[in-house]
Amino acid sequence: MTENRSIDEIREQKLAELQETHENDGVGTTDSPSDPIHIEGQSQLTDATETHGVVLVDFYADWCGPCKMIEPTVEEIAAETDAAVAKVDIDANQRLATEFSVRGVPTLILFADGEPVEQLVGMQNKAALIDVIDQYS
């Protein structure tokens, strides 16, 4: 009897895991990193946006004052939400900045299911960013 109970418990656990995977279409689980991912090229950005269901990508520059001001907010969003956060230095990754039509910094692009769905330019407050993320989470 004890052995059968263990088997039943394992079955229930596996069923719950399968249901969670199905609900998330196999992607975008809540296992998003709690720290921003520093992107060094197109393939790394593609991996990040395809691995996580919702990704907020911060296109920034080291010399940009507003970029430095928004950095703590971006880090808090990475730690507090289910969205992954990625950071792209536009000076080191000019092709990526051009590909996504980044003309001013900071530019924040929200990806959902691997596709860009929102673009925000300039300083943003935390509540506004969380509202946008929640629309796609």
- CATH number, domain of 121, equals 3.40.30.10
- What total number of domains does the chain contain? 1
Mean pLDDT of the 21-34 span: 59
Active-site amino acid positions = 64, 67
What percent of the chain clears pLDDT 70, i.e. is strictly above it?
83
Q: Which domain holds residue 98?
A: 31-136
Instruction: Give residue 83's pLDDT.
Output: 96
Mean pLDDT of the 88-117 span: 97
Is 75 part of any domain? Answer: yes
Pair 83, 77: CB distance under 8 Å: yes
Is 21 part of any domain? Answer: no
Residue 126 tokens read as 């935390």
Between 56 and 20, the more confident residue is 56
Mean pLDDT of the 91-104 span: 97
Omega before 116 within 30 of 0, i.e. cis: no
Mean pLDDT of the 13-23 span: 62
Q: CA 2 to CA 80: how far, in whole Å?
A: 41
